[in-house]
């Protein structure tokens, strides 16, 4: 059995994630691949886009193509019920009413995370050549990427201590803190959940098969968020193999939108500079909504057709290396950046707030540094074998 190709689309709200994901899936199916598209966004719109009624289990949409909208509430209950009951009980004992307690026991975004866990079984089923994921807006999804790290920590550090914690802390918790301790069942839930998170993470981090594609509109704020997301993805070791700029005003958009089109073209320049060498795929703003097979085929053609930057096929890995990595310890941090074919003398660096601007001759890259580096200043930079290494230390 071969490992399925997994493509995850994410981006800010309303930029066109669902449309682009559905168009990709339709195109993969047409190319003869057994394709599944899953929506993990609790506010589903995939059925509208595909014009087919969908449920939590895969439904046939066309030749080689099935789709499902995962039921977030169901997944939440499945994975979190034990923890929720215990935590809710504790909050209620401290005087909170039931409704508020129930709300507080579900951290924001976990419903999407739990939906994403469904990826595992489809990935393992052997039924699919390609799995496309249509995700919720980035803000939530990105925060979730750190969960597997937390899960690993939990499994390594806390689980082995379970018995000891229960035995020694129970009397203390009961008499001094006046809170119920988690039961064995809660521990078991968390343990199973942690194992699931780690397994899902392993699928998404398998850069030979899984990649992330960032969808954005050509607006400064949307691009800014996509850049931050890109930094996080790189940071956590996920491979971004393409960025999609959707809703670009085409040539001949008319006088009314002429200035706006010009502004968008400038923003496209920023996108290329921020994500280089990751390919940038463009989709024009169409004259009507993207709904149904015909419009999805048009989007697919723009993305992966003969004239497009992604012409090697909808499921091809369009870029195969993680272009920037950041490692940090107490004393500082090191940023490594792939900048092919530059000459050492022509490389320049400038930091403005959290943006690091790297110039190499006429090329320019804008990198959004993670907030943890806010207090750091670049100190030294070296360039060798196409890799720029920038060292940061804490500025006094």
Ligand X SMILES: Nc1ncnc2c1ncn2[C@@H]1O[C@H](COP(=O)(O)OP(=O)(O)OP(=O)(O)O)[C@@H](O)[C@H]1O
The verdict on 365 binding ligand X (CB under 6 A) reads no
The verdict on 132 binding ligand X (CB under 6 A) reads no
Please identify, among the stretches 11-19, 25-33, 138-146, 256-264, the one whose residues bind ligand X according to the rule CB under 6 A.
Answer: 11-19
Cα 344 to Cα 279, 325, 348, 387: the distances in Å are 24, 20, 9, 10
The answer to whether 359 and 353 are in contact (CB under 8 A) is: no
| Cα–Cα distance for residue pair 200/121, rounded to 1 Å | 10
| CB within 8 Å of 345: residues ≥ 6 apart | none
The verdict on 51 binding ligand X (CB under 6 A) reads no
The verdict on 49 binding Mg ion (CB under 5 A) reads no
**Closest separation between CB of residue 364 and ligand X, Å?**
27
The verdict on 290 binding ligand X (CB under 6 A) reads yes
**Closest separation between CB of residue 266 and ligand X, Å?**
19
The verdict on 129 binding ligand X (CB under 6 A) reads no
**Closest separation between CB of residue 167 and Mg ion, Å?**
48
- Residue 115 vs 194, nearer CB to Mg ion: 115
The verdict on 13 binding ligand X (CB under 6 A) reads yes
The verdict on 250 binding ligand X (CB under 6 A) reads no
Considering only 37, 41, 105, 310, the residue that binds ligand X (CB under 6 A) is: 41
| Cα–Cα distance for residue pair 41/275, rounded to 1 Å | 25
- Residue 292 vs 332, nearer CB to ligand X: 292
- φ/ψ (deg, to 5) at 329: -140, -170
As beta bridge partners, residue 101 has none
| Cα–Cα distance for residue pair 272/263, rounded to 1 Å | 15
The answer to whether 165 and 182 are in contact (CB under 8 A) is: no
DSSP code for 205? T
The verdict on 45 binding ligand X (CB under 6 A) reads yes
Place of tokens 């489809």: 122
The verdict on 18 binding Mg ion (CB under 5 A) reads yes
155 HSE (CA, 13 A, CB side): 16
Binding residues for Mg ion, per CB under 5 A?
A: 17-18, 45
> Which residues make up the interface to ligand X (CB under 6 A)?
11, 13-19, 41, 45, 137, 246-247, 283, 285-286, 289-291
């Amino acid at each position: 059995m071969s490992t399925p190709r997994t493509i995850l689309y994410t981006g800010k709200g309303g930029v066109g994630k669902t449309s682009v994901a559905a168009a990709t899936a339709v195109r993969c199916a047409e190319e003869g691949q057994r394709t599944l598209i899953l929506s993990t966004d609790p506010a589903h719109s995939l059925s509208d886009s595909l014009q087919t009624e969908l449920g939590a289990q895969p439904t046939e949409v066309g030749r080689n193509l099935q789709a499902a909208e995962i039921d977030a509430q169901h997944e939440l209950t499945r994975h979190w019920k034990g923890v929720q009951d215990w935590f809710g009980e504790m909050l209620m004992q401290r005087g909170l009413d039931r409704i508020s307690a129930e709300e507080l026991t579900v951290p924001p975004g976990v419903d999407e995370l739990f939906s994403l866990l469904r990826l595992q079984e489809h990935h393992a089923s052997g039924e699919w050549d390609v799995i496309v994921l249509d995700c919720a807006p980035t803000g939530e999804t990105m925060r979730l990427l750190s969960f597997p790290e937390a899960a690993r920590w939990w499994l390594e550090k806390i689980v082995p201590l379970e018995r000891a914690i229960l035995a020694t802390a129970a009397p203390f918790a009961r008499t001094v803190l006046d809170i119920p301790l988690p039961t064995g069942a809660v521990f078991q839930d968390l343990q199973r959940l942690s194992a699931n998170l780690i397994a899902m993470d392993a699928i998404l981090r398998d850069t030979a098969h899984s990649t992330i594609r960032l969808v954005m509109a050509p607006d400064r704020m949307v691009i800014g968020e996509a850049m931050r997301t890109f930094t996080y993805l790189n940071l956590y070791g996920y491979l971004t193999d393409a960025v999609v700029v959707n809703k670009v005003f085409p040539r001949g958009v008319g006088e009314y939108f002429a200035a706006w089109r010009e502004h968008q073209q400038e923003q496209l320049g920023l996108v290329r500079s921020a994500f280089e060498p990751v390919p940038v795929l463009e989709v024009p703003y169409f004259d009507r909504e993207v709904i149904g097979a015909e419009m999805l085929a048009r989007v697919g053609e723009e993305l992966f057709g003969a004239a497009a930057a992604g012409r090697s096929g909808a499921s091809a890995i369009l870029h195969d290396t993680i272009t920037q990595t950041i490692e940090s310890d107490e004393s500082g941090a090191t940023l490594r950046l792939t900048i092919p074919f530059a000459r050492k003398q022509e490389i320049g660096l400038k930091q403005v707030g959290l943006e690091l601007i790297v110039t190499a001759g006429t090329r320019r890259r804008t990198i959004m540094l993670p907030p943890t580096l806010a207090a750091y200043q670049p100190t030294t930079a070296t360039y060798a074998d196409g890799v720029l290494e920038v060292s940061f230390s804490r500025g006094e």
